[in-house]
Structure formats: structure tokens, C-alpha cells
Amino acid sequence: MKLGIIGLGNMGAGMALSARRAGLEVVGHDPATRARAELEQAGVVLLDSLEAVAAEADVFVLSLPNSDIIEQVVLGEGGLRRHARPGQILLDTSTADPASTQRIARALEGSPLRLVDGPVSGGPKAAHAGNMTMLLGGDAADIEALAPVLDALTGKRVHVGPVGAGHSAKLFNNLLCGINLVAVGEAIRVARAAGLDIEQILDGVNAGSGRSGVTEVNCPTWILNGAFNSGFTMKLMRKDLRLAAEMIAKSGASAPLSNEALRLWAESAAALADDEDFNRIVDFVEPNQ
């Protein structure tokens, strides 16, 4: 099985290296990759066009910044749809707009190209280690056919529904993580102001029902030690939360807590630059508070 990876940034380059280590043939396309030398040394063949990738690969893996670019790469002039042949599957590992993913799936009806959405977590470290967590949306048979690729790239995978469901589940995950980071930031400030030892307080929380991924992983790994080097930026998290805000608005459901946390994330842009670590939100206090 030959992989064609489109988008060789922090995540895509790590996936390409993991796939090579697992013995898969890998070609790739990204005119602006910063990892060219490392990739070529590992045996990844870099190609100049989508057409060249389409001619060689059995499975396309996308790791791209946003849905506009994904739509262009799949459906645009010279995109993958135009060059598809039977048996090819497209696995979109980007964090993307589920409505766009469903639009792409509809546009691919009648084309030989099959679509599975498989957004990931774990960051560049897990992409390089081949142990990302992936939330899969698509047909069970297509996901089964991807097994050698999924074995190479993931440590854990969950099939959450039809096409688009993976991207929806990822937005819910990042929404809940974003709300939790704001809440934990408040808990840290309150505990410190009360003269308490926050590390000991979190030991207690992590033994109880208030614990979360943020208290168990983010706090010790990136926040309390001041490292703030998770590899996941404010820019990417704000993108995900903008998509979550759209999902909430479209649903029409009442979500005041989510909306308040999303407002804080959006306002933090004035104080926390795009390239800052996303965990920095714990330090954000509105100017008038």
C-alpha cells in the first residue's frame, strides 16, 4: 500500500516518518514543507503536483490547515477528484469543518474516491511516534481497508459514525478542552490567591471527579512547570474553537457556558499571539477583571 501525504507540516511530516518506519511506501506533496531534508533522508519521495501524487498513491492522507484548502485540494481544478481511480481512499486527518467534509463527500458521490475523516490528537510528538489518537467518520469497510495506515499512525482509534462525524467529535473534544482550560486557569488563580499549593490541590482533584485531561496531562506537562511547549498553537486552537462556535450557532441549542468560554478565547487574541502555546489561555484575564 502506497501513501500519498498532502500537507507535510508539523503533523504531516511526523506521519510520513511514522509510515516509513512501519515499512509503507510514502510519497508527499507540500510546496512549503520545512522538513524536506529529513523526509527525503527517510525515503519519502516529494512530488511537485497533486496529479503526480494521485498517479502513485493508493491512500491519500491530508494534513492541511483548513477546509477551504481541503476543498481546493480535493475538488479544485487539478484536485484529487479529477485524477482518482477505483480503490483509492482519502483519509482527512486535518481538523476541519464537518459541514465542508459532508459537502466534499456529496461531491465525491459517483467518483471512485472514497472519503474517511480521521482528525487526530496527540500533537506533533504523537505524529512522529505513530501513536496519535484518531476519531474516524466513514464506512466501516473503508476504515477496515485503511488498517495498515491506521496501524502505522495511531495508538488509539475510535469509529464515531458516518463521514463528518470524526470532524464533529474532534470539535466537541476541543470545545470541552477549551472550556476546561479556562476553568482550570481560574482554579489555579484562586488557589494561589488563597495561599494554597496548587500542585497538592491538583493531586487531590486528580483523585476525584473534577479531574480531566487538562488537570491530569496539560497541568503537569506544560502549565505548572512553565514549559508551554505542547506544539499546538493558539492559532490552531482558535481555528478549532471558531468551528465549534459555528457548530453551536447552527444547532440553535442553548450553550451559554460554551459561548462565554469561546468569547474569552476569541478576546485573548489581543494579548496572546497566534504562535503562543494554546495552554497559555490559563493566564488570560480580561483587562477589566
Ligand X SMILES: NC(=O)c1ccc[n+]([C@@H]2O[C@H](COP(=O)([O-])OP(=O)(O)OC[C@H]3O[C@@H](n4cnc5c(N)ncnc54)[C@H](O)[C@@H]3O)[C@@H](O)[C@H]2O)c1
Binding site residues, ligand X, CB under 6 A: 6-12, 29-30, 32-33, 63-65, 69, 73, 94-95, 120-121, 123-124, 231-232, 236
- What are the beta bridge partners of residue 116? 91
- 150 near 103, Cβ under 8 Å? no
In whole angstroms, the minimum distance from the beta carbon of 252 to ligand X comes to 26
In whole angstroms, the minimum distance from the beta carbon of 141 to ligand X comes to 25
User: Shortest Cβ contact with ligand X: which residue?
Assistant: 9
Q: Is 234 exposed, middle or buried (0-12, 13-18, 19+ CB in 10 A)?
A: buried
- Using CA atoms, how far residue 36 sits from 9, 30, 125, 241, 281, in Å, is 10, 9, 18, 31, 33
Closer CB to ligand X, 91 or 202, in the complex = 91
Closer CB to ligand X, 7 or 178, in the complex = 7
Dmax (CA) for the chain in angstroms is: 65
Closer CB to ligand X, 12 or 205, in the complex = 12
Closer CB to ligand X, 93 or 268, in the complex = 93
In whole angstroms, the minimum distance from the beta carbon of 48 to ligand X comes to 11
Closer CB to ligand X, 65 or 161, in the complex = 65
| Cα(52)–Cα(99) distance, integer angstroms | 29
- Please, which residues have CB within 8 angstroms of residue 86's CB and are 6 or more apart in sequence? 112
In whole angstroms, the minimum distance from the beta carbon of 197 to ligand X comes to 30
